[in-house]
Amino acid sequence: MGTTLQAPPFELALDSALWSSELLASERGRAQLDKLHRTWLDAGADIVETCTYQSSLPLFLPASRAPTADELSTALDTMTSALPVACGSCASASSSSAASSSSSSGPKPQVALSLGPYGSALQPGQEYTGAYPPPFGPAASAAPDARPASGAAALDAVPLPLDAVRAGDDGVSDVEAHLAAWHLQRLEHFTSPSAEGAQPVGLVAFETVPSLAEVRAIRRAVATFSRLYPSRPQLPFYISLVFPRADPAGDATEVRFPDAALAHLGPRLDAQLPPLVEALLAPEQGYALPAGLGFNCTSPLAARGVVRALGRAVAEQAPAAKPWLVLYPDGGAVYDVRTRSWTHPAGLTDGAWAELVADAVGDALESGQWEGVVAGGCCKAGPGAIKALRDEVTKRGWTE
């Protein structure tokens, strides 16, 4: 989303830690986000995500001093306004479609609440490494220069609900407890009935997850949320992993899961994925089961290999219910978290990108391991790419 806002016709300078979420602070910014959501819908998208990937409440607070009660309330309203903005765009698109046609041509567009990993709240970002500093990761594998993007005063003003995620289970590791509390807190804030213009959350997209501990933490956070707030609507969710290149300068088809805790398994996905899929799908008390799993922000050149390896790991796990597969590769560009710049080694056209994604979808459908497939695009896969994917899906005769 942020990369599309930086490109024509928007050409916005988004340089803060909030990235696209900074637009939520003004009426003009929210209008830009509405325009962006409508651009995706016009391109043929069935699901649009909120501009909340990096969002956590401390990022919306003053960095160097304790916030006032009014500032806390305003920050919550600003952050959670992403939901009504996206829901309003989808409702308008549905109304426009109904007015122009006497019969419905497809499902109504849906909104997914985008929630990035803890690494997205660090500077420099660690979502492609999972190298989180303590207490969110082990000191031995932490990135030495990674620090919270929020100020210390802001973090102190919004303490994590650690007791809630530890309740009833003394065996939860300190790393998992902190990650679960961080994710739980965001779920609490985005579903808060006190937020101005509060909207129900129909789907939660936990994205670009780079560590096994965070996979378990997310499942624990959702289960804790359901236990603490039985009167609030329950949250269907999926967990999307990230598979960066094994060698940043090497073959884009050679990817790996970045968690240092799995380094002993070697770089091959067939060795890495079984424990990951077990962490995703194994039934366990106190851990919610995701409706789907998959990957995003991964090279489209690697998509077929990842889909096939995931299918084999899911078959080995043999879950009681088939999960959905969610895949939305990036546009083929490579991002440098330090310079915040992109290179384009693949040089893919929108049509070539769409064919790669559709080929991966075809492999998934043929495998029989999935309840269904949701496909789309991540960073640098713009509206033209989504339109090309919609056309490719239509050409291949796949139904929604």
Q: pLDDT tens digits for 114-148?
A: 999 999 999 999 999 999 999 999 999 999 999 99
Give percent of the chain above pLDDT 90. 76
Question: Alpha-carbon distance 108 to 342, whole Å?
Answer: 34
pLDDT of residue 103: 45
Burial class (CB in 10 A: 0-12, 13-18, 19+), 46: middle
- Whether 220 shows a pLDDT value over 70: the answer reads yes
- Whether 374 shows a pLDDT value over 50: the answer reads yes
Q: Are β-strands 147-148 and 47-49 bridged in parallel, bridged antiparallel, or unpaired?
A: unpaired
The whole-number average pLDDT for the span 373-391 is 94
Question: Alpha-carbon distance 242 to 297, whole Å?
Answer: 6
Question: Residue 296 carries which DSSP code?
Answer: E
Q: Which two tokens stand for residue 360?
A: 């991966």
The whole-number average pLDDT for the span 186-213 is 90
249 or 110: which leads in pLDDT: 110
- Whether 366 shows a pLDDT value over 90: the answer reads yes
* 378 has binding-site annotation: yes
* 51 has binding-site annotation: no
- Whether 264 shows a pLDDT value over 90: the answer reads yes
pLDDT of residue 7: 62
* Three-class secondary structure of residue 19 per DSSP: helix
Mean pLDDT of the chain: 90
- Whether 3 shows a pLDDT value over 70: the answer reads no
Q: How many of the other CB atoms lie within 10 Å of CB of 86?
A: 27
Question: Alpha-carbon distance 225 to 286, whole Å?
Answer: 10
Question: Alpha-carbon distance 365 to 383, whole Å?
Answer: 25
* 297 has binding-site annotation: yes
Q: 324-349: per-residue pLDDT in tens? A: 999 999 998 776 666 666 666 667 89
344 or 190: which leads in pLDDT: 190
* Cβ within 8 Å of residue 114, ≥6 positions away: 1, 49, 50, 51, 52, 53, 205, 207
332 or 15: which leads in pLDDT: 332
The whole-number average pLDDT for the span 159-186 is 95
- Whether 1 shows a pLDDT value over 80: the answer reads no
DSSP 237-293: EEEEE---BSSTTS-TT-B----GGGGGG-S-HHHHHHHHHHHHH--BTTBPPPSEE
pLDDT of residue 14: 63
SS3 track for 39-86: HHHHCCCCEEECCCCCCCHHHHCCCCCCCCHHHHHHHHHHHHCHHHHH
pLDDT of residue 139: 96
pLDDT of residue 199: 77
Query: Do residues 149 and 122 touch, judged by C-beta distance below 8 A?
Result: yes
335 or 213: which leads in pLDDT: 213
The whole-number average pLDDT for the span 203-215 is 98
pLDDT of residue 395: 95
pLDDT of residue 201: 87
**Per-residue buried b or exposed e for 290-306, using 16+ beta carbons within 10 Å of the residue's own CB:** bbbbbbbbbbbbbbbbb
Query: Do residues 212 and 287 touch, judged by C-beta distance below 8 A?
Result: no
Which residue intervals of the chain are DSSP H helices?
Answer: 2-6, 27-42, 69-80, 82-100, 152-157, 162-166, 174-190, 212-228, 269-281, 303-317, 350-367, 383-395
Question: Alpha-carbon distance 159 to 173, whole Å?
Answer: 19
Question: Alpha-carbon distance 215 to 151, whole Å?
Answer: 26
Q: 66-106: per-residue pLDDT in tens? A: 999 999 999 999 999 999 999 999 998 776 665 555 445 56
Q: 83-93: per-residue pLDDT in tens? A: 999 999 999 87
Say how far residue 206 (Cα) sits from the centre of its chain: 4
pLDDT of residue 193: 85
- Whether 50 shows a pLDDT value over 60: the answer reads yes
Q: How many residues are listed for the chain in this entry?
A: 400
Q: Which two tokens stand for residue 277?
A: 């899929």
Question: Alpha-carbon distance 322 to 289, whole Å?
Answer: 11
**Per-residue buried b or exposed e for 345-354, using 16+ beta carbons within 10 Å of the residue's own CB:** ebebebeebb
Give percent of the chain above pLDDT 70. 88
